Structure 1
Amino acid sequence: MSLRTLVQVSALWLCYVPALLAGSGPNLASVNAAVAVVGDDELVFGKHEDRSVPIASITKLMTALVVLDSGEVLDEWLTFEERHQPAAANAYTRIRVGSRMKRADVLRIALMSSENFAAYTLARSQPGGFDTFVDSMNAKAKQLGMTGTRFVDPTGLSAGNRSTAADLVRLVNAAMKHPEIQEYSTTGYYRGHFRNPRYSLSFGNTNALVHRESWGVELSKTGYLTEAGRCLVMVSAMNGKQVITVLLDSLGTRSPMGDAGRIKRWLDTGASGKVARAARRYEQEKNADYAAAGNSATAVH
């Protein structure tokens, strides 16, 4: 480790003296987690951070990154075409097949409202089509050093989309370089306008914390599948820093937000906090399932 790197790491950890003096990490309902400062892949805290697990709609952050890195025109009108293959899970949508919307707006509703048809359409509309887009997602993961990550679709509806909490820190750091991802993923409410035919739909953000100014949320993505549990990836203000929080596989809809609060208090005061007994049981059961499946490897093959 170079002297410069050593100084940077030391400065990072000194930011969290209260938490370090406490001698233990926060108690979390999420089975897998990672905490880091924006711009640094080094973790302040990790919990099964190298375990590769389904990530549900957290996938859409990579979808957005591939779209924006491709340089495709955001003002181009895209057509919502009927799926060329069945979705892996429930893909209910209010968007009409054949209607059109600008790529920027399609990307916005995919991120802030987790619209699955929008994410599918972004991939289908890229040069080379759907399969090439998924290949690009995996190539980008490899480029970012996400060794525990594999994508099979752009929406997250497939449990085959897997990553680790530590890998997702790398993804968030890359996504934070795009102001569009920050803006679109933290939009509270949005009225989307379509053509062919002309109609509009209202969309709301799936993360309630984006509506609370005290959190200073600068990037957000939620996810849920039965196999993945409740998931949340977020950049928010904690202890005077921009902090990446990755929370994977929680029992209830409010558990990730509760965990975010426990992490925030831990960084401020060193207090570990408490989680509900039901969440503890869920964690024990899931850890047993992961162990039985041999799912402790750091890489996906």
Structure 2
Amino acid sequence: MLSSTEPQNQSITTFLILGFPNTRKVEIALFFVFLIMYFLTMTGNIIIIITVHTDNHLQTPMYFFLGNLSLLDMGYTSSTVPKLLSILLMNIHTISLVGCISQSYFFFFLGSAECFLLAVMAYDRYVAICYPLRYPVIMNRRMCVIFVIVCWLSGCLSPLVAALMLINLSFCGPNIINHFFCDIPPLLKLACIDTSLIQQIIFLLSAVVILSTFLCTIISYIYIGITILKIQSSHGRHKAFSTCASHLTIVSLYYGTVIFMYVSPTTRSSFDLNKVIAVIYSVVTPMLNPMIYTLRNQDMKRALKRIILRMQISKKELEVSKEFHL
């Protein structure tokens, strides 16, 4: 049974993350579920990064951005899941104030960077479909690197204001965070002062990041849709749409839950609902991204087959070399 361990008349420096309180059997079952999901996330994204880096046929802007998306997803899910696994398996609920704010910062840093990168990937598809002849000039290597740097820097700077606000707050108790990670809304509820102004500022900052990048993505796809409809052949329309299908699926999954969670005009009193929604965008979506891109993308399938074939050839050559020396 969790309880506040800090005196009520001084600022709290240690918190207890509630997680998913249930019977021990259910917690162990949840541990294995999240462990498998985390393993699939890390494995899938590592495979994508290695494939994009090693296959010459994937040295294009789209796959350069995809490799960065995989890197973001690995960090994004790693900011929350390892702590959740320790809660479920070893019942370690405690986290320091510094650790809590750090977890919150990196979660929103990587999440914000993903928003910017998804918008850039939508722009990349817009240029590829609407201006195919100018695409190599517009999306050259230098411009792609600049785009990625801007995404990472923007993500890094976006949650700084919120982190500084949290650092300067005093927490009087109770010290139980009703979530599976240090999310900002439940953390603000533990502050000693009225945080309504801080909540409004953080809401506006979240809305600016999420809605601006979402709007850029939607505008790109509106122009993409108009261009695709102008293509005469059905084969051409299908080919153009197939290059966007994977990205559009990821955008729908990610923004659908994030907008509902952080840009909803109403405040939800059910933290249990918040946890379920948070699991979708912080654990499920990063796990599905590699599957969506590999199962729906013919270039990735062919690249994976080439890598497997090269590995098999190398293995046979090594076996032949060993036999020759024997």
For the pair shown, the structure with the greater C-alpha radius of gyration is 2
Asked if these proteins are the same fold (TM beyond 0.5), I'd say no
Could you say which structure has the higher strand fraction? Answer: 1
- TM-score (normalised: structure 2): 0.28
- Report the structure, 1 or 2, having the larger helix content: 2
